[in-house]
Chains A and B, each alone.
Chain A
Amino acid sequence: MAVLAAARPHRPRQRGGAAPYVLLLPALVLLVLFLIIPIGYTIWLSVRASRVTGGGLGLRTESFVGLANYVGAITDSAYAHSVLRMLGYGVIVVPTMLGLALLFALLLDSRGARLTSFTRLGIFLPYAVPGVIASLLWGFLYLPGVSPIRAAFEAVRLPAPDFLGSGSVLFSVANIGIWGGVGFNMIVLYTALRGLPAELDDAARVDGASELQIALRIKVPLIAPALVMTGIFSLIASLQVFSEPSTLQPLTDSISFTWVPLMTIYRDAFVNNDIYTAAAASVLLALGTLAVSLAVLSFLQKRAFGEDR
């Protein structure tokens, strides 16, 4: 955890009496209320269920059911499909978004590019657009009858692409995610590049390295920590995709109410009133995200920093 945990002991004084506890108190109260208790409550709910007992009289009581809800969630094909779709979404979004962000950051940092103030702000702008609004904008750009992209295809007598069809809608949703995230990641990577000493660049140039070699052999390895950070956060964000498909949903039949796991959880909790299955699925999703991020983190750290860290 060398990247996330900068928890090197750096000898603050053992002083202050109650002060550190008092300063931490508001954060601790809120952490317990809105993080620890909900986590505990979710786990508690996930092993319980509401059953009708008392033979026909319809008395509902809550009881312990062990892992039945987990088994139910895993064997529910709606969940299986939504998880697959989410993974497909992540596989498209994370590499494409980070690849583009890195490309733009390197170009901004290279010596050749012009108009960098304009392009930097332009590419960053979507960060300020909420996911729902972004999906709304793209939704209209996809929607037959309004879409200027389709109109352009029709104008030159080509078959208009069907952005909201069942085969293409995953890519259309992924495009919204990429559009919204590329700018922020670009700025983070660009900042890391700007923090590198200029002498490195000059020395490599004197040695006759090309702009491309400098970028790939020197700059990219040096900003590996920033790449790992952006990668992890992009991954976590893409596993939580919810607002984009939910917003596109009224515009197309290709997005079901169980399109991604969070939509399925929402359906179980608030449409089917089955909070127990929703809780079990939430636990599975959280554990899955945690496992994937830790696995990626340790893999990337081995690659990026060698075994010694």
Chain B
Amino acid sequence: MSTAVLERSGPTVRSADRTPRRTRYLSTGILLLGALYCLLPVAWVVIAATKGPGDLFTTFSFWPSVNGGFGYNISHLLEFRDGIFWKWAGNSLLYAGAGSLLSVAISVTAGYALAKYRFRGRETLFRCILAGVLVPQITLAVPQYLLMSKLGLVNSYWSVLLPSIISPYCIYLSRIYAAAVVSDDMLEAGRIDGAGEYRLAWSIGMPPMIPGMVTIFLLQFVAIWNNFLLPYIMISDDRHFPMTVGLFSMLNQGASQPALYSLVIMGAFLSVLPLIALFLFLQRYWRIDLVSGAVKG
């Protein structure tokens, strides 16, 4: 239905001339104020990234600096502790990329099975998954840490990756989406032709679910990329930090070494770029109506 919500120009084109001018200005004005509020901190970080430690506390905030602060910040950030910032960026990409891909694979197969088969324990299982959606994942972080330390995995990539893969919410969304788009008749026809269940799942079940997969991938990618508590608890070796925990630790050091602040700002600037790029690239493919409950199972 609305595959490209972010892309569409909206209903404004049709017969806008009938709307009183005052209303038009008012609506546009309120929306512009909202956009200003949301873009202000981002604009600030772009400008602040041009300022070296000398200018950051002395020059007016919304005026970029041309004293070579941008180059200074970028080179010092990348040299900071032998280029550990790159390591953090790579780790974030690994956690979010691998984690969300695996999450999609697991959620989609589980959602498909829950939607398209009738078997013992199906309803009970689905209720448990729904309850899992409501349990704040984050309160599980402490026992997950204890579990990981029993397994000897604390401080490894696995300790962040494994708990990130499972998301009851993604399984729930997959089930709804599979029920809505995978045709029972086609599955039945395939069975009559003698195709095996796994082949049916792969060649009839999966293709129509691709838009749902993109949506789940994006939601999960952002959730893992933005996650702070889990890696903060699991990882103490800073070479395994994702960007969020890395920049947090730099900010903490900045309390005693204010020269680090300008590097933290540069890091914040660099860290928001990839996600914005990802969104601009993938926004036309995702189905947000899945989240708003418009797809009925």
| Residues in A lying within 8 Å of B, measured CB to CB | 1, 3-8, 10-17, 19-24, 26-28, 30-31, 33-35, 37-39, 41-42, 45, 100, 103-104, 107-134, 136-141, 145-148, 151, 179, 182-183, 187-192, 194-195, 198, 211, 223, 225-226, 229-230, 232, 236, 239-240, 242-243, 246-247, 250-251, 262, 265-266, 269-270, 275, 278-279, 282-283, 285-286, 289-290, 293-294
Contact = CB atoms under 8 A, between A and B. Distances in A.
A230 B228 CA distance: 22
B23 A239 contact: no
12 contacts: A15-B191, A41-B147, A104-B31, A111-B16, A112-B28, A125-B276, A139-B251, A191-B291, A192-B293, A211-B19, A223-B292, A289-B139
A278 B41 CA distance: 35
A251 to B, nearest CB: 8
Contacts of B135: 35, 39, 286, 289-290
B56 A112 contact: no
Contacts of B243: 130
Interface string B148-177: 000000000000001101101001100010
B197 A19 contact: yes
Nearest to A4: B130
The 3 closest A-B pairs by CB, nearest first: A122-B35, A148-B61, A27-B110
Contacts of A7: 123, 126-127, 130, 297
B133 interface: yes
Nearest to B16: A111
B191 A24 contact: no
B130 A179 contact: no
Nearest to B123: A7
Most buried by B among A12, A133, A247: A133
Given A116-B9, A137-B268, A111 B14 contact: yes
Contacts of A283: 139
Contacts of B146: 41, 45, 275
Contacts, number: 365
B80 interface: no
B166 A31 contact: yes
B27 A250 contact: no
A140 B48 CA distance: 10
A103 B30 CA distance: 9
A128 B112 contact: no
A39 B291 CA distance: 27
Contact of A112 (B5, B19, B201, B292): B19
By DSSP majority rule, is chain B's interface helix, strand, loop, or mixed?
helix
Nearest to B42: A125
A23 B41 contact: no
Contacts of B276: 125, 128
B248 A6 contact: no
Contacts of A112: 12, 16, 19-20, 23-24, 26-28
Contact of B31 (A42, A119, A136): A119
Contacts of A13: 117-118, 184, 187-188
Given A140-B265, A179-B38, A225 B293 contact: yes
B115 to A, nearest CB: 7
Given A34-B162, A129-B275, A133-B268, A189 B35 contact: no
Contacts of B166: 27, 30-31, 33-35
A17 B271 CA distance: 48
A198 B15 CA distance: 13
B209 to A, nearest CB: 13
Contacts of A286: 135-136, 139
Contacts of A129: 42, 272, 275
A6 B296 contact: yes
Interface string B78-111: 0000000000000000000000000001110110
A83 to B, nearest CB: 13
B292 A189 contact: yes
A222 B228 CA distance: 36
